[in-house]
């Protein structure tokens, strides 16, 4: 594959409704869309970094800098024969997983198109539908949260995740559990607690939660192992896992019993598959996390979630959960059985609406092979 041209779009697109987590509230999403042309074929990628470094240290601006000043020169340096080579091509740059993943997505899209396969076939995915859950932000009141949850149940979402933060935790979780006694329910703390808050999580034990996601610090594994030893409810790590080494460390220390895989957080699809494989051999189930992606990033997540050890519903809701309209046409729509269909056309299998993309673009830059 000879990369000829890379177009970057810094976009800002309104969210259907505000999304509040323990680290802040978003009413719109900024990200970078990458469009790569190689051998006359076009591939797409979406950067999951946010405007602010509240979830991870990367931001849209740091990703733009890393991509343009350090990654693109390495991409243009020579042909790529397999997308799995991309992480080593970029390895000189330490960290900046989300910046790297943006370009790698487009490379996988192109490679699978060249092979005449949908991306999920190309990576050996085993399903044509993926089971999805919904991630619900903190609402102004507990009552409004319960109403939101019931609304998503009505649409047909089969797994509910609610965000928690200090002061909006046990009561919210209890109220939601009372409203949906038999539905798989989980909480995501986004690192808002300390080990000294362990009694709070002990009080959640009788709510029969599917898991507690990332209760402790974003860079911690050790204290999660202490907390997990105190709880029957499985801990799931999100923020703490950036590599196969982190996954092994977390599993071997008993810091979690489930891992959330986000391809952007681990530096792209190659590493995401490697983390999936490490977890599969250890008997640890994984699920596909989300970062409020548009249809472009969503398509990559959906392909990833077809691998066999994705044994729990992902944060892969339909396009209209976040964007209306989405940047792709047709959008991802919710099937009555609580799933999204995996695109069958070659590559990511999506059609980007170029007019819509241009309308949400704040800044565009084009780079050609020197
Ligand atoms: O922690 O999983 C998270 C969104 C932005 C940043 C972090 C997280 C989330 C979500 C939303 O929970 C998941 C989605 O895209 O539906
Ligand atoms: Mg999370």
Q: What are phi and psi of 282, to 5 degrees?
A: -90, 0
Q: Record the tokens describing residue 340, joined without a space.
A: 């999204």
Q: Is 369 a catalytic residue?
A: no
**What confidence score (pLDDT) does residue 368 get?**
98
pLDDT at 132: 95
Instruction: Reduce the DSSP state of residue 154 to 3 states and report it.
Output: helix
Compute and round to an integer the Cα radius of gyration of the chain.
20
Ligand nearest to the CA of residue 55, numbered in listed order: 1
Q: Could you confirm whether domain 3-116+354-368 is CATH 3.30.390.10? A: yes
Active-site option among 117, 226, 262, 369: 262
Beta-strand relationship, 286-288 and 41-46: unpaired
Bond prior to 159 in cis (omega within 30° of 0): no
**How many angstroms separate the CA atoms of 33 and 39, rounded?**
20
Question: How many angstroms does the Cα of residue 289 sit away from the middle of ligand 2?
Answer: 7
Instruction: Name the burial class of residue 82, with classes exposed (0-12), middle (13-18) and buried (19+) by CB atoms within 10 angstroms of its CB.
Output: exposed
The reply to whether 117 belongs to the active site is no
Verify whether ligand 1 is closer than 6 Å to residue 301 (CB atom): no
Question: What pLDDT was estimated at residue 341?
Answer: 98
Distance 108 CA to ligand 2 centre (A): 25
Residue 62 φ then ψ, to 5°: -65, -35
Alpha-carbon distance 268 to 281, whole Å? Answer: 20
Residue 1 CA to residue 229 CA, distance in Å, equals 48
Question: Is 190 a pocket residue for ligand 1 (Cβ < 6 Å)?
Answer: yes
* φ and ψ of 204, to 5 deg: -85, -10
Among 329, 325, 265, 256, which residue's Cα sits nearest to residue 291? Answer: 265
For 121-341, the fitting CATH number among 3.20.20.120, 3.40.640.10, 3.40.50.720, 3.20.20.140 is 3.20.20.120
Residues of the chain with pLDDT under 70: none
Question: What are the sequence ranges of the domains in the chain?
Answer: 3-116+354-368, 121-341
Indicate which residue of 161, 163, 364, 369 is catalytic: 163
Distances (CA, A) of 3 to 45, 78, 296: 14, 8, 20
Phi-psi region of 208 (alpha: psi -120 to 50; beta: other; left: phi over 0): left
Rounded Cα–Cα distance for residues 231 and 150 (Å): 28
pLDDT for 233 equals: 98
Residue pair 31/47 in contact (Cβ under 8 Å)? The answer is yes
Domains 3-116+354-368 and 121-341 share a fold: no
DSSP annotation of 125: -
How many angstroms does the Cα of residue 367 sit away from the middle of ligand 1? 31
Q: What confidence tens digit (pLDDT) does each residue in 53-77 have?
A: 999 999 999 999 999 999 999 999 9
**Atom number, ligand 1, closest to the C-alpha of residue 260:** 2
Is residue 135 within 8 Å of residue 185, measured between CB atoms?
no
Query: Could you tell me the CA-to-CA distances from 150 to 178, 315, 334 in Å, in that order?
Result: 11, 17, 16
pLDDT score of 126 = 87
- What per-residue confidence (pLDDT) applies to 238? 98
Q: What is the DSSP string of 282-322?
A: HT--EEE---S--HHHHHHHHHHTTSTTB-S-BS---GGGT
Q: Which atom of ligand 1 is nearest to the CA of 163?
A: 12
Question: Distance of CA 200 to CAs 116, 138, 186, 212, Å?
Answer: 52, 18, 15, 12
Work out which ligand 1 atom sits closest to the CA atom of 19. 4
d(CA 232, CA 229): 8
pLDDT in tens, 285-301: 999 999 999 999 999 99
Q: Is 317 in the pocket of ligand 1 (CB under 6 A)?
A: yes
For ligand 1, say whether the CB of 292 is within 6 Å of any of its atoms: yes
Ligand nearest to the Cα of 22, by number: 1
Cβ neighbors of 144 (< 8 A, separation 6 or more) are: none
Look over the chain and give the mean of its residue pLDDT values, rounded to a whole number: 98
């Amino acid at each position: 594959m000879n990369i000829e041209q890379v177009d970057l779009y810094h976009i800002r697109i309104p969210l259907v409704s505000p999304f509040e987590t323990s680290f802040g509230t978003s009413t719109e999403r900024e990200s970078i869309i990458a469009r790569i042309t190689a051998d006359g074929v076009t591939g797409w990628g979406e950067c999951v970094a946010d405007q602010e470094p509240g979830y991870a240290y990367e931001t849209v601006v740091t990703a733009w800098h890393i991509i343009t000043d350090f990654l693109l020169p390495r991409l243009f340096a020579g042909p790529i024969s397999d997308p799995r080579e991309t992480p080593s091509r970029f390895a000189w740059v330490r960290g900046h997983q989300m910046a790297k993943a943006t370009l790698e997505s487009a490379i996988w899209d192109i490679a699978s198109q060249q092979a005449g396969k949908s991306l999920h076939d190309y990576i050996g995915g085993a399903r044509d539908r993926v089971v999805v859950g919904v991630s619900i932000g903190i609402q102004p009141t507990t009552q409004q949260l319960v109403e939101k949850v019931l609304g998503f149940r009505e649409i047909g979402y089969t797994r509910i995740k609610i965000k928690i933060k200090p002061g909006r935790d046990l009561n919210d979780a209890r109220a939601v559990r009372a409203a949906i006694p038999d539905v798989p329910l989980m909480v995501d703390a986004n690192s808002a607690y300390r080990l000294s808050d362990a009694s709070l999580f002990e009080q959640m034990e009788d709510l029969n939660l599917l898991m507690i996601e990332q209760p402790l610090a974003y860079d911690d594994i050790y204290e999660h192992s202490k907390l997990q030893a105190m709880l029957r409810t499985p801990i799931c790590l999100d923020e703490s896992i950036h590599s196969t080494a982190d996954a092994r460390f977390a599993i071997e220390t008993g810091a979690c019993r489930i891992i959330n895989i986000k391809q952007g957080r681990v530096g792209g699809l190659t590493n995401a598959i490697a983390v999936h494989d490490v977890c599969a051999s250890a008997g640890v189930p994984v699920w596909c996390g989300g970062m409020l992606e548009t249809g472009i990033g969503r398509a990559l997540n959906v392909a990833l979630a077809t691998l066999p050890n994705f044994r729990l519903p992902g944060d892969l809701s339909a396009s209209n959960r976040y964007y209306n309209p989405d940047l792709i046409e047709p959008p991802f729509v919710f099937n009555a059985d609580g799933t999204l269909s995996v695109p069958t056309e070659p590559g990511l299998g999506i059609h980007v609406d170029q007019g819509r993309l241009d309308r949400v673009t704040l800044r565009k830059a084009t780079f050609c092979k020197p």
